[in-house]
Amino acid sequence: MATTFQSVGLAALGGMLWSGYTDSVKASPLVLRPPGALKEEDFLTACIKCGLCAEACVNRDTNIDKETGLPRPGTLQMAKGGDSVLIGTPFFIPTEVPCYMCEDIPCVPVCPSGALDMASLLDEKEELDITKSKMGLAVVHKESCIAFWGIQCDACYRACPLLDVAITLEYQKNDRTGKHAFLLPVVQDNACTGCGLCEIACVTEKPAIFVLPNDVAKGKAGDHYVKGWDVKDQVRVGDAHSETTTTDISKRDAGDYLNMEVEY
Amino acid sequence: MKNSKYLLLRRTTQVGLMFLYFAANAYGWKILTGTFGASYVFDTIPLADPYTTLQVLATGFVLGTDVLLGAAIITMFYFVVGGRAFCAWVCPINMVTDLANWLRRKLNLDKKEVNYRFLKRSARYWILVLGLLVSALVGVAAFEVVSPITIMQRGLVFGFGMGFAVVLAIFLFDLFGVKNGWCGHLCPLGAAYSIIGSKSLVRVKHNHEACTACMDCKTVCPENQVLHMIDKESISVTDGECTNCGRCVDVCNDDALGFGIRSFMDVSRTESETLG
């Protein structure tokens, strides 16, 4: 009896350590997943860590090096110990091998578990459309992007598989020299798939354009704000409901704040 | 030189299957793709790990039909051939722990049989249940986060990284720590297969009349509690914890052990003897 009681206690101890460890290793927000991946939290639940996506990626027909006839390294890696990504889950690092956005998307239909959702990549004709994928979002750091220095560089713009759609060039006058133009890369959120071809094409020492996971790269205005003169945006907040909060009326005199120390 | 027929057969099967998994990634062969979590045979027949499948289901995620079908196929297969045949004939960690066990015998580390109070062979069933609870609690298949089995398999197919340390840790634990520590005490996958194969048809049979009680079989057996009938009665090894590795059959010089189909008559006879 006492032993059973102790066993249950030890099992509880083990369970807590195990839960704590599992919960901490699943927190890897800076990771890019294959096309069609469910939201990160659901993806971690659903992925059965079989590696069929990575195998389909590396062994696709288009991955044969035309000079040597041998397959090149695949985009998708299976997380190993030390990768700081939940072990056994597929991910990619654009600066190592970006996603080449294959039209037939070999990595997705092979997923047996449903962690890679094929339905999310189908167009109106029920055909696979890689441009629907949202692996991440490219972000430009304008201080290190030499186009913002006035140097004419359109490496990322040219490398983008959705040329002039996902990255557009914005012309601006260079006030610093007074004579020249800026050709500034601007990433279009609605079109960028996060493939990372821009990141590997970037010429700066450490890429000035880089792909971040959507959750990290994007803000959210919420439904407190509506675009002016835009009927569509009013539809967006159509379901918004009001929140009633009550704040006690300040007893202070209106002029008091001038004499108050600022509290942090 | 003792007979090593089943040992060689097992190593061939283990290495062969691992090579097919490896070749699926390295050369694009379609014979056996994926890993234990989920695989396909010839790109058509799905296979899936029943315990992994249960863990994912425990998180509340409804898995794709191929995984569910694959898990059913694997369960049916091992239900017939003996659940822990997976452990002895497929699992790559078996080669690591067998090596540790062999070294233990060579280095004479087995003189004292230690009886750990809280590390019984039943610990694995606790871990099996715990793994499902933790999966449900945290929302991630919990054993898959730490499993040296899939870490080693993916290591062989996709590259090890630091995962090598986990495999080495299992080796050291089994060599210097607990005898048969991982496979015999802790592994919840082995526990799951013990349950699946508890009524399996393929079983080792003992012939009490031929036995000379040399106990070589008990020395090599990684689960020697299942060999309780040696030199006592002529029945099959019916315990689900038997891995069907056949080492006992190999080392037996008296033809007192061999593979056979479970005779349910044996069981009823033993039961009736026990009863009356």
Q: What is the pLDDT of residues A115-125, one digit of tens each?
A: 999 999 999 99
Output the pLDDT for position B271: 47
Output the pLDDT for position B2: 59
Least confident of A77-91, A238-252, B49-63, B127-141: A238-252
Q: Which residues contact A42 (CB under 8 A, 6 or more apart)?
A: A115, B61
Of B40, B67, B159, the CB nearest to A48: B67
A155 versus A234: which is more confidently predicted?
A: A155
Backbone φ and ψ for A138, nearest 5 degrees, come out as: -75, 140
Residues A221-236 have a mean pLDDT of: 87
Which residue's structure tokens are 């069907």? B244
Residues B80-100 have a mean pLDDT of: 93
Across the A:B interface, residue pairs with CB atoms under 8 Å apart total 150
* Complex ipTM tops 0.95: no
Which residue's structure tokens are 């490896």? B22
pLDDT band at B162 (very low <50, low <70, confident <90, very high): confident
- Residue A154 and residue A167: Cα distance in Å, rounded? 10
Q: Indicate the pTM of the whole model.
A: 0.88
* Cross-chain residue pair B34–A45, CB shorter than 8 Å: no
For chain A, what percentages of helix, strand and coil (3-state, to nearest 5) are there? 30, 15, 55
For residue B165, give the chain A residue with the closest CA.
A81
B84 neighbors B241 (Cβ within 8 angstroms)? yes
User: Measured between CB atoms, does A41 come within 8 Å of chain B?
Assistant: yes
Which of A22, A28, A96, A107 should we substitute to test contact with B (largest number of B Cβ atoms within 10 Å)?
A: A22
- Residue B226 and residue B245: Cα distance in Å, rounded? 13
Residues B114-129 have a mean pLDDT of: 86
Number of Cα atoms under 13 Å in the Cβ half of residue A2: 1
* Cross-chain residue pair A113–B166, CB shorter than 8 Å: no
Residues of chain B with CATH 3.30.70: 201-275
Write the Ramachandran bin of A78: left for phi over 0, alpha for psi from -120 to 50, otherwise beta. beta
Output the pLDDT for position A260: 73
Output the pLDDT for position A249: 82
* Cross-chain residue pair A14–B127, CB shorter than 8 Å: yes
For residue A8, give the chain B residue with the closest CA.
B126
Tell me the residues of chain A between 144 and 173 that have a Cβ less than 8 Å away from chain B: none
pLDDT, tens only, B7-34: 999 999 999 999 999 999 999 899 999 9
* Cross-chain residue pair B161–A22, CB shorter than 8 Å: no
User: Measured between CB atoms, does A62 come within 8 Å of chain B?
Assistant: no
**Rounded to a whole number, what is the largest CA-CA distance in chain B?**
62
Residues B168-190 have a mean pLDDT of: 93
Strand partners, A187: A167
pLDDT band at A128 (very low <50, low <70, confident <90, very high): very high
pLDDT, tens only, A158-207: 999 999 999 999 999 999 999 999 999 999 999 999 999 999 999 999 99
* Cross-chain residue pair A55–B64, CB shorter than 8 Å: no
User: Measured between CB atoms, does A49 come within 8 Å of chain B?
Assistant: yes
Q: Which CATH architecture has domain B201-275?
A: 2-Layer Sandwich (3.30)
* Cross-chain residue pair A77–B48, CB shorter than 8 Å: no
Of A15, A22, A114, the CB nearest to B64: A114
B254 alpha-carbon distance from chain centroid: 26
User: Measured between CB atoms, does A73 come within 8 Å of chain B?
Assistant: no
Which DSSP category does A146 fall into?
G
Output the pLDDT for position A224: 85
A161 neighbors A113 (Cβ within 8 angstroms)? no
Output the pLDDT for position B120: 85
Q: Please provide the average confidence, as pLDDT, over all residues in chain A.
A: 91
Output the pLDDT for position B269: 47
For residue A4, give the chain B residue with the closest CA.
B118
Of A41, A81, A113, the CB nearest to B38: A113
Output the pLDDT for position B113: 65
Which of A4, A7, A28, A48 should we substitute to test contact with B (largest number of B Cβ atoms within 10 Å)?
A: A48
Output the pLDDT for position B117: 74
Say if residue B106's pLDDT is above 80.
yes
Residues of A in Cβ contact (< 8 Å) with B66 = 112
Q: Please provide the average confidence, as pLDDT, over all residues in chain B.
A: 89
For residue A84, give the chain B residue with the closest CA.
B162
* Cross-chain residue pair A113–B67, CB shorter than 8 Å: yes
- Residue B24 and residue B21: Cα distance in Å, rounded? 5
B63 neighbors B177 (Cβ within 8 angstroms)? no
Residues of B in Cβ contact (< 8 Å) with A10 = 118
User: Measured between CB atoms, does A111 come within 8 Å of chain B?
Assistant: yes
pLDDT, tens only, A3-57: 788 888 989 999 999 999 999 988 877 899 999 999 999 999 999 999 999 999 9
Amino acid (one-letter) located at B151? I
Domains and CATH numbers, chain A: 26-133 (no CATH), 136-218 (3.30.70.3270)
* Cross-chain residue pair B165–A81, CB shorter than 8 Å: yes
Q: Which candidate, B209, B214, B213, B253, places its Cα nearest to that of B235?
A: B209
Residues of B in Cβ contact (< 8 Å) with A54 = 25, 158
